[in-house]
């Protein structure tokens, strides 16, 4: 079974975490099932950017993002070439290393 290594995130998983994820499960669902509460304001419907993650390893093994996801990612805080919406990243047979950005667009707007 493939694994997801979540890099340390100050609030969500300070020590980082390695979890097993069945093929076909999204990165967001795997995180939530293991107590990593990645924000998902649109309830996993690919309508916001709050579940934005950066796939540090294994990015090339994933199905490419579609146009809707790409359009949303353009609005994400801290966008990088390996950015994806975790609600849209479906696990395949390779391990992933995932970084959860420090902020989401929701968090940034709430603090101003």
CATH of the domain at 60: 3.10.20.30
Average pLDDT of the chain, as a whole number: 92
Q: What pLDDT, in 10s, does the model give residues 50-95?
A: 999 999 999 999 999 999 999 999 999 899 999 999 999 999 999 9
> What's the number of domains the chain is made of?
1
- 73 contacts 79 by C-beta, under 8 angstroms: yes
pLDDT value of position 49: 94
Only one residue has tokens 């975790």, namely 86
pTM above 0.85, yes or no: yes
Banded pLDDT at 106 (limits 50, 70, 90): low
Structural domain boundaries, residue 11: 3-110
Whether 107 has a pLDDT exceeding 60, the answer reads no
Helix, strand, coil share (%) of the chain residues, nearest 5: 20, 20, 55
Q: For 62, which DSSP code?
A: S
């Amino acid at each position: 079974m493939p694994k997801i290594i979540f890099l340390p995130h100050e609030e969500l998983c300070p020590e980082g975490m390695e979890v097993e994820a069945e093929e076909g499960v999204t990165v967001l669902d795997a995180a939530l099932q293991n107590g990593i509460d990645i924000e998902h304001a649109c309830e996993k419907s690919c309508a916001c950017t709050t579940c934005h993650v950066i796939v540090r390893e294994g990015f090339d093994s994933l199905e490419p993002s579609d146009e809707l996801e790409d359009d949303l990612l353009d609005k994400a805080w801290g966008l990088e070439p390996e950015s994806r919406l975790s609600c849209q990243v479906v696990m395949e047979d390779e391990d992933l290393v995932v970084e959860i950005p420090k902020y989401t667009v929701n968090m940034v707007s709430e603090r101003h």
